[in-house]
Amino acid sequence: MRSETFTVRTGDRARVHDLTRQCAEFVGAERDGLLNIFVPHATAGLAIIETGADSDDDLLAALEVLLPRDARWRHSHGSPGHGRDHVLPALVAPSLTVPVLGGRLQLGTWQSICLVDTNIDNGEREVRLSFLAGD
C-alpha cells in the first residue's frame, strides 16, 4: 500500500477545501484499487460534494444550524463554541474510500473530494492518501 501525507492551509475560518487534484495526481500512475483519504484530526471531516456552485457554503451554513457554535458544549477548550468542531467528525467522517480504475478516480462529473474544516483555531491540516491496489 502506497501512503503519503500532505498539508493543507485552512486559515482561521471554517472552510471546505477541494482535495480532488491531489487525490487524482496521487493515483494517476496506478491501475485499479481503492483510494482511502484520511484526516488525522479530531475536528475535521471529509465530504464528496460539488464545489464552485455555492454548495460548499451551503454545507458550512447547514453545519452552523445543526451544530451551533454556542455555549451548549461541555467540551469548552479553544474559541467559544469550539466544542461543535469535536462533534463534526461523527457526522462528517474523517475517512473516505473512492474506487480507482486505470489510475482514474471513479468520481461523478460533479463530485469533488473535500476537506471540511470548521475549526478556526487550527490553520493547518494534514491529509493522508493511501492506495490499496487490486491487481
**Which of 79/95 has CB closer to a second copy?**
95
Q: How many helices (H) and strands (E) does the chain have?
A: 3, 8
Using alpha carbons, select from 119, 118, 107 the residue that is nearest to residue 21. Answer: 107
**Which of 24/128 has CB closer to a second copy?**
128
Q: How far is the CB of 31 from a second copy (least distance, A)?
A: 9
Q: How far is the CB of 57 from a second copy (least distance, A)?
A: 5
Q: How far is the CB of 60 from a second copy (least distance, A)?
A: 10
Q: Which residues of 52-71 are buried (b: 16+ CB within 10 A; e: fewer)?
A: eeebbeebbeebeeebebee
Q: Are strands 112-117 and 45-49 parallel, antiparallel or unpaired?
A: antiparallel
Binding residues (CB under 8 A) for a second copy: these are 1, 3, 32-34, 36, 38-42, 45, 47-50, 53-55, 57-59, 61-62, 66-67, 72-77, 83-84, 86-87, 89-99, 101, 106-111, 116, 126, 128, 130, 132-135
Please state, as a whole number, how many other Cβ atoms lie within 10 Å of the Cβ of residue 91.
12
Q: How far is the CB of 127 from a second copy (least distance, A)?
A: 11
